[in-house]
Amino acid sequence: MAVIKIQDLTYYYPESEKPALDNINLEITGGQFVLLVGGSGCGKSTLIRALSGLIPDFYGGTYRGKVFLNGKEIRQLDRRSLVRQVGMVFQDPESQLVMTNVEQEVAFGLENLGLPNSLMKRRVMEVTGALALSGYLHGFIPELSGGQKQKVALASVLAMQPEILVLDEPTSQLDPVAGEEILAMVRRLNEENGITVILVEQRLERCFHLADRVLVMENGRILYDGVPESVARWAAKNKSPFIPPLARLFAGVGFPEVPLTVKQGREILKAYYPFPGLRNRNPKIKRAEAAGDECLVDIQNLWFTYPSGKEALKNINLKIRPGDFTVIMGENAAGKTTLLKNITGLLKPGRGQVKVLNRDTKKVSVEELASTIGYLSQDPNDYLFLPTVREELAFTLSNMCLSDDGVSAEILQRLQLTSYAETNPRDLSSGERQRVALASVLVARPQVLLLDEPTRGLDYRLKAELGDILLQLQAEGKAVLVVTHDVEFAAEYAESIVLMAEGTIIAGGSKYEMLTRSTFYSPQISKLFNNLVDDVVTLEQGREILTRLMVVKENQVVCG
């Protein structure tokens, strides 16, 4: 029986003339794991908010059509019975927790439902036990890690025992390990407790295979609805980026089978093994033509200790040259962000030195370095406060006493922001906001660009756009240094990889050396070809190999 039924649902946000949801018709049966995919602003979040009654109750706007929960029209349900049926976990753990301690947070929803104390105690005990939160019951929430906070948010919703669990990009602000943990919990809840799960997620390689059904959305409409395998084929045929890299690879070259996991992919490839004469032509990394040999940033024996006594960087040696595209990877607290801050001059080395264009950062202020070192932080909102995009760019120029010789228009055009020049940046989508923040950095024409977790919360299309922009900058001779947990992004766009752990650089080299034969720091493509073909890292390499495999197979069939 359908637990959710949506009939002709159309919705406009207040003061918007474009529908956020356009004639949606959908039925979801109990116990299903539904994955909702699509680009930024396609209506995914709006749809799940309509299921939880937040639209239109919280947002207002114009609403047409009907949503039924277990046969009852949602508008006819009182709010208590609605929140008992649908639990919602949001994107940012920081912005959904209201109490100061874990136990009180988990009990918050139960108090709102007016449950007796004895029942609340039982529910809190059960849910914190199940999500391994018992050890943090009295923990102060601001001191928990992002993953723990998101677990608390999940626990506070689960304590209300909802029949349907709706999650809006719950892992987008988390590191991969914490993200995996949340998704594993969600899968367990679906499999072991039969809870209906509706998940909106961008990193599809983590969850595509978990879903029973995938809905692809665009412009407020459901474009395709099917099982993951059929969605993968449809997406490859329609050039939609919203499938995991592996499925995109196989479906893209027209392979007869489409795997959703590395395990399935390797099973398929084994049928072709041994690969006769198939050796990967490892592409030599070409340095950008504009690149020179001068050293833009020279880090020698850098040690850094925080006032708290924590030794965050130990004996770091690194050179950044024009045309470099380096990605720094490593666990949380490995010292990656501290290293970036030492390069920008925000932090000064304890021992050793950091030289930017031969100037010791100890003797130069951050503001003086700002025109040479561009820094894009994790949250683009930290940059945006002016009424228009154009003014944001002008603000950077005026800070650095630079004149606008047409650079603003050039950067806006390059980042496809010209049409938004007079728009308030806070009215833009997350991907567009990030481009505005990047534009406000690039307008000073820095020679080195540092980016801290730039792909966090971005969908595949936006990631690809960002990657292309960075490649263009690299080709112009700018040095790009990115800190990220996103192995797929690093594999596709970086030139070299630096691995950090506990404040030291433990390894560094070309991405073909660093991202292959690794359990954790390798993209899906490398894991697929591991021990079958050497040094495969990018989608392009994978495509080439699969195409050759298909040709070999065809020839064998013809000859046979």
Q: Residue 373 is which amino acid?
A: I
Site string for other proteins, 371-390 (x = CB under 8 A): x-xxx-x-x-xxxxx-----
Task: For 347-378, give the secondary structure using H, E and C.
Answer: CCCCEEEEEECCEEHHHCCHHHHCCCEEEECC
Residue 344 CB, nearest approach to other proteins (Å) = 5
Residue 81 CB, nearest approach to other proteins (Å) = 9
Residue 67 CB, nearest approach to other proteins (Å) = 15
Residue pair 376/449 in contact by the 8 Å Cβ criterion: yes
Residue pair 520/239 in contact by the 8 Å Cβ criterion: no
Residue 135 engages other proteins in binding (rule: CB under 8 A): no
Residue 332 CB, nearest approach to other proteins (Å) = 16
Q: Residue 183 is which amino acid?
A: L
> What's the rounded Cα separation, in Å, for the pair 273 and 443?
52
Q: Which of 58, 283, 416, 517 binds other proteins (CB under 8 A)?
A: 58
Alpha helix positions (H), 70-175: 79-85, 102-112, 117-130, 146-158
Cβ proximity to other proteins, 279 vs 426, nearer residue: 426
> What's the rounded Cα separation, in Å, for the pair 452 and 268?
37
Q: Which of 25, 62, 73, 98 binds other proteins (CB under 8 A)?
A: 98
Residue pair 268/251 in contact by the 8 Å Cβ criterion: no
Residue pair 503/310 in contact by the 8 Å Cβ criterion: no
> What's the rounded Cα separation, in Å, for the pair 440 and 353?
28
Q: Which of 8, 18, 75, 111 binds other proteins (CB under 8 A)?
A: 111
Q: Which of 50, 88, 412, 505 binds other proteins (CB under 8 A)?
A: 88
Using alpha carbons, select from 180, 220, 296, 209 the residue that is nearest to residue 25.
Answer: 220
Residue 90 CB, nearest approach to other proteins (Å) = 6
Peptide bond into 256 cis (omega under 30): no
Size of the site for other proteins (CB under 8 A): 70
Residue 218 CB, nearest approach to other proteins (Å) = 24
Residue 32 CB, nearest approach to other proteins (Å) = 21
Cβ proximity to other proteins, 344 vs 496, nearer residue: 344
Cβ proximity to other proteins, 273 vs 385, nearer residue: 385
DSSP per position, 483-541: E-S-HHHHHHH-SEEEEEETTEEEEEEEHHHHSSS-SSSS-HHHHHHTTTSTT--SHHH
Cβ proximity to other proteins, 197 vs 441, nearer residue: 441
Residue 389 CB, nearest approach to other proteins (Å) = 15
Residue 90 engages other proteins in binding (rule: CB under 8 A): yes
Which one of 186-194, 436-444, 512-520, 533-541 is the stretch in contact with other proteins (CB under 8 A)? Answer: 436-444
Residue 480 engages other proteins in binding (rule: CB under 8 A): no
Q: Which of 148, 440, 516, 526 binds other proteins (CB under 8 A)?
A: 440
Using alpha carbons, select from 148, 147, 143, 196 the residue that is nearest to residue 5.
Answer: 196
- How far apart, in Å, are the Cα atoms of 196 and each of 184, 269, 494? 15, 34, 39
- In the complex, which residues of this chain contact other proteins (CB under 8 A)? 52, 54, 57-58, 78-80, 83, 87-88, 90, 92, 94-101, 103-104, 107-117, 120-121, 124, 138, 140-143, 153, 156-157, 160, 341, 344, 346, 366-367, 370-371, 373-375, 377, 379, 381-385, 395-396, 399-400, 426, 440-441, 444
